[in-house]
Amino acid sequence: MKQLKPIMFVGTCSDAGKSVINTGVCRILKQDGYQPAPFKAQNMSLNSYATPDGKEIGRAQATQAEACGIDCHTDMNPVLLKPSGEMMSQVVLNGKPVGNRSAYEYFRKDDNAKLFDEAHAAFERLAGRYNPIVLEGAGSISELNLKKRDIVNMRMAKRTNADVYLVADIDRGGVFASVYGSIMLLDEDERQLIKGIIINKFRGDVRLFKEGRDIIEDLTGVPVVGVVPYFKDIYIEDEDSVVLDGKNNSAVNGLINIAVVKLQQMSNFTDFNALQFDKRVNLYYTTDHEQLKKADVIILPGSKSTIKDLTFLKEKGLTDTIKELYKNGTSVIGICGGYQMMGQMIEDPDQIEGSAKAIDGLGLLPMNTVITSEKTTEQKQFYFGDNKAVCHGYEIHMGQSSSTDAVTPLVKTTEGTDDGIFLNDRCWGTYMHGILDNKVVIDALLKPFSDETSTELSYSDFKEIEYNRLAEHLRQHINIEAIYNNATLD
């Protein structure tokens, strides 16, 4: 195959759809015989994933690697910021935490020169193994007050000499101003890198936008290489939990109602994606007492700040509600931070999460947890209960839990170690993210409420189909040949 220059998708704003377009183009490149890899110099997200070598990256880059058909690696997302409240973020560099910094400290110190060099070194390592590298920007490319310290947008595009494509969200309105302003606010050498514009989330007949694309091309001197229709019928994992604001938040009759407690610092909400496609289930996110009371199953999810989120639940009176509902027959399970909350006590002797050194848990599981500075990040294969099917998941947590009584472990890894506590069919917890991506686990969770077993595709097979559907959608509406022609090296 011909060698291609790096290809980069940047945005006029946050949530313009560049991550999804990046994912689709990664799959197109794979289909066309290339060996692409994704790259985002810096990501800010509580939704992370464990790499095969036991490190941590943003979930979006793990998804894009999956679309490329390759294992994810920290070089794909060398800098990950995990917000921890009070304007602080944990900084994860090359897959390992290096401390907490405020937004002010992060953006002011030495224009992020060291982080920029670290990120570029990761890009170079990646480029030595794959071609092409498909880069993704973050937010808007024209935040002038942040520009000289920004390591993920045009500064990185210049250093890697990438072909840049600007993605604009027409559904928000103001697309002409946002495209023109984004390009005109760039320096001349940055404008030279912009090879095309993609108008995303168009509603209606794209032929009606012909005059609009002509106007944009006349204003900017940059070709519009695609007008991509808005779609809801293709599923690609969401990057940011802000999408939960638009999801269902109430129970419905005739289905098994599963309520995920919507924690303020909820992490890895993708743990519940497979559930939302199960035809037996109505999945919703809530902190409303009445909606929790209508649930058949309550799930306490992961949290970046377990003690703070548990305090939040106590202040709202939700811990008492959850305990009472369990006594009356509602199933309650916990994953990662939610698992820690289900125990007797959580201790934080070194005040890693904040000022509180200890807090009582819900007391549903016989265990105590101590928050530790060392972070566990591992992919795992395991057996769920007595089932002999090999399941897949991953651990990302700070803290160690120990039982206060004889317990039945929930899972046993293929390495022979135990994880979690199985109290009964209606009460269990685990550190294993992704546990609900496995059919046998979902069937066990729903067993008290349904004799049916899953007839759906496995979640991994389902995602493969959706990557291909996305690729086909983009092929129809983006001039992929123009992207290839621009990127082909002589």
pLDDT at 354: 83
- Asked whether the predicted pLDDT for residue 85 surpasses 70, the reply is no
Q: Tell me the per-residue pLDDT of 26-67, one tens digit each, with 9 for 90 and over.
A: 999 999 999 999 999 999 988 899 999 999 999 999 999 999
- Asked whether the predicted pLDDT for residue 136 surpasses 80, the reply is yes
Q: Tell me the per-residue pLDDT of 283-305, one tens digit each, with 9 for 90 and over.
A: 999 999 999 999 999 999 999 89
Residue ranges of the domains in the chain?
Answer: 7-235+465-487, 241-456
Name, in order, each residue with C-beta under 8 angstroms of 18's C-beta and a sequence gap of 6 or more: 9, 10, 11, 136, 137, 167
Provide, rounded to the nearest whole percent, the portion of the chain with pLDDT above 90: 81
pLDDT at 101: 73
Instruction: Name the pLDDT band for 456 (thresholds 50, 70, 90).
Output: confident
What whole-number distance in Å separates Cα of residue 55 and Cα of residue 93?
A: 10
In this structure, of 240-244, 381-385, 394-398, 454-458, the range with the lowest mean pLDDT score is: 240-244
pLDDT at 283: 96
Residues with active-site annotation: 336, 433
What whole-number distance in Å separates Cα of residue 271 and Cα of residue 406?
A: 28
250, 284 in Cβ contact below 8 A?
Answer: yes
Q: Tell me the per-residue pLDDT of 194-219, one tens digit each, with 9 for 90 and over.
A: 999 999 999 998 888 999 999 999 99
pLDDT at 455: 80
Q: Tell me the per-residue pLDDT of 250-285, one tens digit each, with 9 for 90 and over.
A: 889 999 999 999 999 998 999 999 999 999 999 999
Q: Tell me the per-residue pLDDT of 164-199, one tens digit each, with 9 for 90 and over.
A: 999 999 999 999 999 999 999 999 999 999 999 999
pLDDT at 241: 55
pLDDT at 270: 92
For domain 7-235+465-487, which architecture applies?
Answer: 3-Layer(aba) Sandwich (3.40)
- Give yes or no on whether 7-235+465-487 and 241-456 have one common fold: yes
CATH class of the region 241-456: alpha beta
